[in-house]
Structure 1
Amino acid sequence: MADQKLFAGHAVRRLRRQLGLSQVAMAEALAVSASYLNLVERNQRPISATVMLRLAQTYDFDPRRLAASEPGGGAEALRRRLADPLFADLEIDRHQLEEWLAGAPGGAEAFARAYDRIGAGSAGAAEPDDAVRQVRREIERWRNHFADLDAAAETLADEMRIAAGDLYGAMAERLRVKHQLAVRILPAEVMPDRMKRLDLHARQIQLSEMLDAPGRSFALAERLAEEARGEIDGLVKGAALDRGAERLYRRHLTGYFAAAVMMPYARFLRACEASGYDLELLQRRFGASFSQVAHRLTTLQRVGARGLPFFLLRVDRAGQMSKRYAGASASPLVEGPGICPLWNIFDAFARDEMVTHLVELEDGSRWFTVARAVQPQGARVTSIPARFAVGVGLAAGEARTLAVAAGRDLAGHAMPIGLGCRACTRPDCPQRSAPPAGRAMLLPNDRESGVTPFGFAPD
C-alpha cells in the first residue's frame, strides 16, 4: 500500500484550511517537510499512501475523500471538456491546466459544473439529457467506486453464505425472513411487458420466467439494497442532484450494491487476479452475466486493494453510447463525442464470442479492449430484437496479465483510431464521414481526388 500514490493537493489544502493550520504545522504533524507539503498542495508531487495514512490517523480523515473529490473529476476530465471546439482558440496546455487545478480548484469545479449543466457541443447548446450528464459526472467523481456500499454488500454476502452456499436461495430466504417478501416466478403471458415487479399488497417479488439465472439473482440483490438504504441515501443527498438525476443516481447505486452482493469485492478481486481477469470464468464462478462482470470490473478501486483500471462502454449498431464508465482509467474513449468505426467493438455484433483489439489514439495512448454482443433481458419479451455491444478496456501497458491478451504483442502494431470523425484530425482516413469540427474543409479539386472527400486544412 505504501507504493500507492495520487495527486490530491486540493483536498489536502482544503483539510488544512478547515483545521486552521499553517503548512509548517501540518508538515510537522505528518513528519514531512513544509516544502514537500507545499508541492503536494500545488499538485507538483503525488501524495503517497504512507502520508495518506498519517492524515487519516492524525486528523481522523477518510482517505477515500482524496480520490473522490478532484475538481471536475481531475485533470483528464477537465482536459476532455476543454477539447470542445468552443475553446479551441484559447490553447490551454497541460501546464496551464495543472496550475489552474492547483491554484483555483474551486474555479475548476465551478467550470466543470457549468459546462456539464449546459451540455457539451460546438455551440455549447443545452442538451435534453441533463439528468444523465449529472449522474455520469457524479459517478466519475467517485471513479465508480463506492467503498461503503462495497463493505455493506460484502458483509451481507458473507452472512448469507453462512446459512447456504446457494446465493439465490440464500437471498430468497433472507427476503422472506427479514423483509417478509416471497419470490414468485410467473409465466411470460402473465407478465407480458415486465421482467420484475414488487407487489407490496401480496408481499411478493414477481419475476418473469424469461429472466435468466443471473438476471434473477440480480433482481433479488436489488431488493436487498434496502439494507443499505442509509449508505445510498447519504450518497444521493451528498450529490445535490436535480430530482430526475437523483432517481437515476439512486438506481445506479442500487445496481452497484446488487452487483457487489453477487460479486463481493475481496473474493471477486482474488478471482480476477488468479485467473488473469478471465471474463468467462468469472461469469461461471459468480453466476453472473457478461454485462454484470464487465460493470464490476470498473469498480475495483478499494484503497490498498485495487484491481486493474478498466473502462466500459455499451453501444448499439448505430454507435450510440447508452452506458459509459471511465472508472480509474481516464480513457478518452469513454468521454469522446463519438466512436471510430475502425474500432472493432462493432464486430461483436456479427460474432458469438469475445473480440479483442489493440488501438492507438491520436495522443499516442494505446488501449487493449474486449467486447461482446449482449441481448437485454427485455428483448426476449418484446418483438424487437435489441442487441448491444459491451466493451471493456484498459491501457495497453496494464493488459499484460490478462488471460485474453496472452501471446499478444502489446507493443506491436495497433489500429490507429480517433474519437469519431468530428473529433479526429487524422488525415487521409478512407473511413472518414465528416471533416473534424473547427477545421475548414478544403474544397474539392476537379483534377484530382484523395482517399476521402472530406479534406480539411491543417491546424
Structure 2
Amino acid sequence: MAEKLLAGHAVRRLRRGAGLTQVALAAALDISPSYLNLIERNQRPLSAALMLRLADRFDFDPRALGADEPGGGMDGLRRRLADPMFADIGIDRTEIEEWLAAAPNGAEAFARAFDRAVEGGTRASTEEAVPIALVRREIERWRNHFADLDAQAETLADELRLSSGDLYGAIAERLRVKHQFAIRILPADVMPDTVRRLDLHARQLQISEMLDGPSRCFQLAYLLADLEALAEINALVSGAALADRTAQRLFRRHLTGYFAAALMMPYARFLRACESSGYDLLLLQRRFNAGFEQVAHRLTTLQRVGARGLPFFMLRLDRAGQVSKRYAGASASLLVEADGRCPLWDIHAAFARPGEIVRQLVALEDGERWFTLARTVQAQGAALQTGVSAMFGIALGLKAEFAAPLIAARGLNLVDAEAQPVGPGCPACTRTLCAQRSAPPRGRTLRFSDRERGLSPFSFAND
C-alpha cells in the first residue's frame, strides 16, 4: 500500500537535530531542496519510499514521524475532534490539513490541552475509565503494532516449529524443560470462576477445562511471553511513561497478550495466509488454531514497514452497546473513536444471528465508505454456577476502497452500491432525515412546529 502522510514538522526536527541544511538533506535523499522545503511546510506528503530513505539515513522507526507530527498528525487530531463536544462545528479533513500546515504549534497546543483534560477525567467517556483511556492512547500511538515484540515472537515460533508441529505441545514442553513449569487441566468444579491460575509454589500453570483449544494455547503462550519477553515488555511500559499504576498494569497485560497472539500467528506466515486466502477469517482460524476474536485482533496489528496488511479496525461490545475493546490500528476510523454506536450499523444485528458473519457497507456523514464484518463470540470459561453464557459482538472494518481483496466482499460493488448511512451515535450525529434517531445532537438548537412532524422526533438547526 502506497501510504502517504504530512510530516513536515517531524522531518524538520529530524534535519535540525542532525545539524543539516535543507540542501544537505535533500542531496542525501536524492530530491530537490525545493521539494524538501514543500515537505517541511506540509505542502507535499511524505511518500512511503521517501519515508524508508529517511529511516535508512537516520536509523529510526518510521512510525515516529506520524507520532511526532503536531497533535499526532491528521489521525490524532481527527480522533480528538470526534469528541461530541465538537459535533456542531463540523471540521472536515481539508480544514485539519490547513491547520497542520499553517499553525502546527497551535495544533500541538490544542492536542496537549485536550489530552490533559482527559487525564484529569473531565473529558473521559462514560465507557472508559481514565487508565483505560491512557492505555488506548499509547496503543494507538503505536498503531497497535509493536515491531520488537513481533520479531521476537516470530523467531521463537520458528524455533518451536522445529521441535513440534503442534504449537500447544511445543510451548508446554518449553515451559517444562526451560522454565520448570508443568501444565494441569483442572475440572470446572475445581476452578468454577477462574480460567487460569499460576501456582508458583507447585510450579504449575493450571487451566480450566472450560477453555477451548485456541484459548488453552493462548494461556500457555501468555505465560511464555511473561517469562521470555519480559525485558522488551518492561522497556515498552517504561517508555510509555504512564504515571498511573493501573494504566501501567493494563498496558503490560496488553503487551503480554500481544506477544502471545504473535507467537500463535507469526507475522510473515499470518500475512501470507491473509493475502493468499483473501482474508478468509474461517480459514485463518483453522490454519493457526485461533479463535475468531484472536484473529480479528491480529488483523489490526499488521503494520510492519515494508510488509503491511490491510488497515482494519476492531471493536468488541456487548448487547447493551458497551465497548470493552477498541483498536483503530492504521484505520483512523471514527466508528472506533465514537462514544456511541449507530443502531443502523449491523454490528448490533449480529446478536440475532449468533456465529454468523454479517457484512455491511456503511457511509459516514463526510461520505467515507466502510466495509464492516460482525460476528458474535462466546466468553470462554463462563461460570457454571450462574448459568450465564456471556456473548460479545466483534466488529471488523476497513475503508471500502481497500476491501476488494477480501473474500467476504466478493460480489459487492464497493464503489457504487448503496451504503447504509450511519453515524457515531445520536448525540454526535447531525443527520436530519433519520427515523431511528433517539436523541438530538449535542450543540444544536431544537426546532418545534405545531403544524407538522418529520421522520425524526427531533428537528434541529443544522448549521
TM-score (norm 2): 0.92
Q: Choose the corresponding residue for 1:369, options 348, 356, 372.
A: 372
Map Cα deviations across residues 326-368 of structure 1 (whole Å, 9 max, x no partner): 1111111111121100111111111131111111111101111
Counterpart for residue 57 of structure 1: 56
Given that residues 116 and 133 in structure 1 are in contact (C-alpha distance below 8 angstroms), is that contact kept between their aligned partners in structure 2?
Answer: no
Task: Tell whether the 8 Å contact from 1:175 to 1:182 is kept in structure 2 after alignment.
Answer: yes
- The corresponding residue for 1:238 is 239
- Alpha-carbon RMSD across the aligned residues, in angstroms, is 2.3
> What SS does the aligned partner of 1:38 have?
helix
Could you tell me which residue of structure 2 aligns to residue 260 of structure 1? 262
Q: Does 1:394 align with 2:398?
A: yes
Correspondence 1:32-181 to 2 at 5 A:
32-84=31-83, 86-87=85-86, 94-102=93-101, 105=104, 108-119=107-118, 124=123, 129-181=129-181
CA distance in 2, matches of 1:290, 1:316: 16
Moved more, 189-198 or 75-84: 75-84
> 1:407: which partner in 2?
411
State the partner residue of 2:439.
Answer: 434
Which range moves more in the overlay, 10-19 or 403-412? 10-19
Tell me the equivalent position of 1:270. 272
The one-letter amino acid of 1:370's match is: L
Unmatched 5+ stretches in structure 1: none
Does the 8 Å CA contact 2:140/2:329 hold for their aligned counterparts? Answer: yes
Tell me if structure 2 keeps the 8 A contact 1:185–1:208: yes
Q: Could you tell me how far apart the structure 1 residues matched to 2:70 and 2:224 are?
A: 33
Q: How much does 1:283 deviate? A: 0.3
Change (3 A) 1:405 1:380: farther
Is the partner of 1:160 in helix, strand or coil?
helix
Q: Deviation of residue 274 (structure 1)?
A: 0.6
Distance, in Å, in 2 between the alignment partners of 1:252 and 1:145 is: 12
Q: 1:299 aligns with which of 273, 298, 301?
A: 301
Whether the 8 Å CA contact 1:117–1:126 is kept in 2: the answer is no
Letter in 2 for 1:362: E
For the structure 1 residues 254 and 273, does the alpha-carbon distance in structure 2 shift closer, same or farther, using more than 3 Å as the test? Answer: same
Q: Secondary structure at the match of 1:6?
A: coil
Q: How many angstroms apart in 2 are the aligned matches of 1:74 and 1:14?
A: 15
Tell me if structure 2 keeps the 8 A contact 1:81–1:120: no
- Partner amino acid, structure 2, of 1:322: S
Structure 2 distance, partners of 1:57, 1:346, is: 46
- 2:311: which partner in 1? 309
Shift of 1:111: 3.3
Contact 2:340 2:425 in 1 (8 A): yes
CA contact (8 A) 2:66 2:73 kept: no
Question: 1:382–1:307: structure 2 CA closer, same or farther, 3 Å change rule?
Answer: farther
Whether contact under 8 Å (2:85, 2:442) holds in the other structure is no
Shift of 1:95: 4.7
Is the aligned partner of 1:359 residue 2:379?
Answer: no
1:235-262 Cα shifts (integer Å, max 9, x gaps): 1111111221111111111111111000
What corresponds to 1:191 in structure 2? 191
- On the 8 A contact 2:119/2:130 being kept in 1, the answer is no
User: Which of structures 1 and 2 has the larger relative contact order (alpha carbons within 8 angstroms, sep 6+)?
Assistant: 2
Q: Structure 2: which 5+ residue stretches go unaligned? A: none
> Residue type of the partner of 1:237?
S
Count of residues in Structure 1 that have an aligned counterpart in Structure 2? 456
Paired AA for residue 397 in structure 2: G
Which deviations, in whole Å up to 9, do the C-alpha atoms of 1:98-149 show, x marking residues without a partner?
344346656544533442342399x847867111111111111111111111
Note if contact 2:29-2:53 (Cα within 8 Å) is conserved in structure 1.
yes
**2:25 maps to what in 1?**
26
CA distance in 2, matches of 1:59, 1:399: 34
Aligned equivalents of 1:286 and 1:336: distance in 2? Answer: 32
Structure 1 range deviating more: 93-102 or 262-271: 93-102
Report the AA paired with residue 367 of structure 1: W
Normalization by structure 1: what TM-score?
0.93
Find the counterpart in structure 2 of residue 343 from structure 1.
Answer: 345
